[in-house]
Structures are given as structure tokens and as C-alpha cells.
Amino acid sequence: MKSLVFKMKYLSCCIGAVGLMSSYSVSAANLTTLNKKIENYKTVTHKRLVEAAPEDWLLPKGNYEGWMYSKLKEINSKNVSKLTPVWTYSTNLDSGHEAPAQINNGVMFVSTPYNNVIALNAKTGQLYWRYKHDNPYDLSVMHNTSRGVALWGDKVYVAGLDGTLNALDAATGERLCQSQIGDWSIGAYITSAPTPVKGKILVGPSGGEYGVRGFLEAMDAETCETAWKTYSVPGPGEAGHETWKKEGKRPDAWKYGGGSMWMPGNYDADEDILYWGVGNGSPWLGDQRPGDNLYVASSIAMDPDTGKIKGHYQYHYNDSWDWAAMNAPMLIDGLKDGKKKVKGLVSPQRNGYMYWLERDGKGKIEYLEGKPFVANNAFKSLDPKTGRPTYDYDHVPVTGKRVSYCPSLWGGKNWPYESYNPDTGMMYVPANDNICNSFKGKFQDDVEPASGQFWAGIDIPDLDVYLADQSKGVGQMQAWDVNKREKVWQHDYGKTMNWGPVLSTAGNIVFSAGTNDRMLRAFDAKTGEVLWEFPLNSTAIAPPVAYEVDGKQYIAITAGYGVDPHWTNGVLAAKDKSGEWIADVPEGGVIWVFALPDA
């Protein structure tokens, strides 16, 4: 006993010492090019984030509810045909640009691949400053993108691909402090936009293809010290650990079981509860980690002060398809059974099903209904009370056997944000149907999990991606009535995937890009009619946003094709025999800003 006590004391001492090192101040002036200091920067407060004033776009999804919606309506379905570019700004980088422009009182912040942050005058496009993150020289990551920044107080927070979370002076771009969140060398790099909540900055790393155990970490916004950290896969003694059965060749699968929390979450400010998405299992093959595998492929409710998990809903158990549930569900109060209004959660999931859930205000999440929005051949049905799927095991990937399934591993909808418009009562979903894949599961023992090597349990050359029906296209925009739970309209993009996050506005418009023809489109939100389209320099896979400066409304989107959208487009174009699939989509990041001509 004495020995154990001694050991624990020793460990505690060490752990404490390590904790002291988790954040540090740095002198990083040479990382930032300062063109012009931002004067009178408007402090971002909890109140401002909750209120989400329409002239700003402070959060990556516009508001804490995750709606991707703007109340602005100067640009509307009657005049959008006159929309025209007013300024552009080259990021001077290629690859996938996936960050929204984020606007605070006329100042725009855009993060880029390899973690530059560019601060611009949102009205003129003139540079204030540019921060270039000092990623390690031998950095390697699967996705070199960045999905946005967090704005809090007088600082801008950006995560690095090297697993750091960095606090910048909003006025000058100078880095003030940073925290090490993930270890990129094992595969725990960060692409997510951090989320600011009540003085903490929350972010989680990627790693679901590398055998990394997922987690979300909260950093104190002032000191860059760790406030809390919560693993998405419960350890011994924690609720849910029993869903990782100690069976088979890997009885300790929970240690490297994936569940990355690699996208920003949503927040119920009234009830003070976070809602976050949890990614796929690692490796992809569920038979290598028996059990339901909580909280993989789930949405979880968390206490923002402590990180404690208060509730969860798992969309499908023992994930075997790479159908990550990384996007947090939108917070929408809607009708239950067509009558009673309840606090709800709505989420179009990568598994191809749309989910309506109920939140009780204390963290408990209950199933209301699920409906497929694209073809899914792996689920026979959903239990009407719980939503738990019944599987068709001919389409559940396993080790040692080639299995095909639809939708593909990229899902019926990947990370690009859907939008909810309270004016139309509709949800707008960037969907991909008619795309499937097959592979033979592999027990990968030539390298260890969490060693920085691809560890998904498949050989990439063995992955076959194909269209279920060669005559049909893939990418779609779907509009669903949230209360009726029915699809209202659908636009088919044809021979392209759709990787475009969606913005809807009070002007009865839905904006989205993401297709291989480089178009940014404006749809009539009620009817789906295409009202306007404009060819960008490259395909935009970043969220479009709306903001206002000096009483004038602008629409901003960053074009820049890359990462998975680029690769999947190449694969599908190479297989296409119709001649309709555009193979050559140029790269190159450009921030585009549109407005109506002055009267």
C-alpha cells in the first residue's frame, strides 16, 4: 500500500509539473505582418455572441444555435440578380480553404490552409495584418485546412495544424500565448474552428484515421491554460466504457478508438449546455472494436464549465463506415408530433439520415424521428422509439472481406454546414446521393495506432468509389420543412459532388457553392429556383456569410478547392464516361465579397 501511495504521489507530482507547461507565453512578433493596426476594436462579449447581431458574423456558423442564417435582407430574392463583386483578396495559398469570413464591427478575419490568419477591412478589403503560424518543418497532416477562428474579448484564437491553440492580439495579430492541445505527430492535428464560450476557448483535434482517442479541450482565454479536457471515449470506471467490449484481438480498442471532435460545437446559452459532435471509430472496421463504442458517431451534451458529459445520442452503434457524427446538431425549437412545441435538435447526418431529437434542458437527448435523405443500404430500418438502426450485414464493412455500401464514406452530407431559416421554417442540406464505395477490411499490425501513420484498417489503393447509377449525378441541395419533417424542394447539381456549406437569409435566399463548376449560387429559399450564379476563380468549399458595414449588406465567401473534395472529384471524373464531369478544377485561395450596386 505504501508503495502504491508513493507511486501515486510521484505521478501526481509529475502530472502537476507537466500541467504547468501546458501553456506558455511566446514572443512571436515576426510571425505577423502588420500593415495597419486596428483602432477601436470592438470587444467580443458573451452577450454579443448570444445576440448574434446581423451586421456581424462572429461565430463560424453565425450563431450559437448553428443556423448559418442571417437576418439581413437588403439583398433579397427580388434583387439578387444584380449582385456583383466589390472586392477580392488572394490568400496566396492553394489547397482547401474551408473557413468562413468572420466579421466583427467591420473587421474581417479569415483563416487559411497552413494556419495563416488574415485581418481585413470588411468594407474595402485592405489588409490590417496577417499572421503566419509557425508549423513544424516536418509537419504532416491529412487535411491541411482551417475551418475558422474564435473571437473573444480583444483576441482572435486560431488552432494550428501542429495541435496548438493560439491567442492573437486582435488589433495587431501578435501572438500572445498558446496551448498545446493535440500532438500532430501521432495524428492529432487540428483543423476545427475553436469555439468561444464564457471565457474559455474549446477545440478538439482530428485523428480518426490514425488511432487517436478523441477529446475536446477548453483553454482559458486569458492565460492559455487548460481548463478542462474530456475524452469522447470513456475510460475505465466511466459511464459508457462498458460499450467497448474487451474481446477479440484488440481488447484495449478504447485506447485508440477514434471519436475525434473535429468540428466546432453549438451552445444552448439559456440552459448553459454545449452540444458537440463525435467522429468515426478507429480503425474503420467495427469488428476490430466490439461493442456499441460510445460516444463514437454521437452527439453529446456537455457542461461548458467542467466538460462533464450530461447526455448523448448515438446515431448508429459500432460505426464501421467512417460515418462520423462530427457536426453538432442545430438547436431548433420545433413541433413534436405536429403539435406540442419542444426544444429540439436537428441534424442531417453523414449516415444519410435526418434526425429530429428533443433536448430536455438538462442535457438529456431523446429521439423523435429519423428519415433518410439519401440512399442508405446498410440500415434496414430505425427503431421507431429509439432510432437505433437495424443493419443489413451485407453492407457492414468487416475485416478480411470486400464490402460495398452507400452512401460513401464521405456520407450523405459531410462537414459542410446545413442552414436553418426561421422565416421559411426550412432546413437547407448540402447532400450527396448516388455515391457508394467498397473496400476490404484489413487488420493493420505493421504500425501501431497513434504513431502518425494511416491506421484506418484499409489499403487506400483498394478503396473503390463509384456511382450507383452512372446516368445520374451526385450533388444536391435539399430543402426540408423542419416541422412537417418533409422535403420541400431539391436542386440536382448533376455530375459533381456538393461540398458547399449553406447560408440562408431573411431575404429569402439560400447561398451555396461547392460544385466542380466553380459557381456560387443564390436559390429562392421557398422554391429552389436558381436566381443568380457567379463563377469564382476556384470552387468554394468554405461557408458563405452575410454582414453589414455602414448600412450596406455584403456576402463573403472564400474560394479555394482542395483536400477531400478535390481528390474525390478527380476519382469520379476519371471514371466518368458521360463527359459531363469537370475534372480540371483550379486551386488558389481568393476571398470574394459581393454587394448590390450603389443606387
Q: CA-based angle 502:194:362, to the nearest 5?
A: 85
CB of 559 to another protein, least distance (A): 18
- The site string for another protein over 236-255 (x = CB under 8 A, - otherwise) reads x-xxx-----------x-xx
Do the Cβ atoms of 184 and 161 come closer than 8 Å? Answer: yes
Q: Does 115 bind another protein (CB under 8 A)?
A: no
At residue 573, what are phi and psi to the nearest 5 degrees? -65, -40
Site residues for another protein, 166-185, by CB under 8 A, read 179-185
Picking from 107, 109, 118, 111, the residue whose alpha carbon sits closest to that of residue 97 is 111
| Residue choice 142, 375, 573, 582 for contact with another protein (CB under 8 A) | 142
Q: Does 92 bind another protein (CB under 8 A)?
A: no
| Residue choice 41, 89, 152, 215 for contact with another protein (CB under 8 A) | 215
H-only helix segments in 82-176: none
How far apart, in whole angstroms, are the C-alpha atoms of residue 338 and residue 412?
26
Site residues for another protein, 440-479, by CB under 8 A, read 446-454, 456, 459-461
Of 238 and 529, CB closest to another protein: 238
Do the Cβ atoms of 355 and 326 come closer than 8 Å? Answer: no
Of 1 and 15, CB closest to another protein: 15
CB of 247 to another protein, least distance (A): 17
Per the structure block, which three cell numbers stand in for 440?
Answer: 476490404
- Cα 47 → chain centroid: 24
What is the total count of residues that contact another protein (CB under 8 A)?
81
Of 365 and 563, CB closest to another protein: 563
Q: Among residues 268, 287, 319, 322, which one is catalytic?
A: 322
Q: Does 53 bind another protein (CB under 8 A)?
A: no
CB of 451 to another protein, least distance (A): 7
| Residue choice 139, 375, 398, 573 for contact with another protein (CB under 8 A) | 139
How far apart, in whole angstroms, are the C-alpha atoms of residue 369 and residue 171?
47
Q: Which residues contact 420 (CB under 8 A, 6 or more apart)?
A: 65, 66, 67, 68, 69, 330, 332, 346, 426, 427, 428, 482, 504
| Residue choice 85, 235, 248, 251 for contact with another protein (CB under 8 A) | 235
Of 300 and 477, CB closest to another protein: 300
Determine if the peptide bond prior to 597 is cis (ω within 30°).
no
CB of 306 to another protein, least distance (A): 5
Do the Cβ atoms of 176 and 154 come closer than 8 Å? Answer: no
**Candidate ranges 213-221, 335-343, 352-360, 431-439; the one touching another protein (CB under 8 A):** 213-221
Q: Does 593 bind another protein (CB under 8 A)?
A: no
- The site string for another protein over 532-571 (x = CB under 8 A, - otherwise) reads -------------------------------x--xx--xx
Distances (CA, A) of 520 to 235, 294, 340, 392, 561: 45, 39, 38, 38, 13
Which amino acid, 476? Answer: Q
Residue 423 annotated in active site: no
Per the structure block, which three cell numbers stand in for 254?
Answer: 478504447
Site residues for another protein, 354-413, by CB under 8 A, read none
| Residue choice 100, 106, 234, 370 for contact with another protein (CB under 8 A) | 234
Q: Which of the residues are catalytic?
A: 322
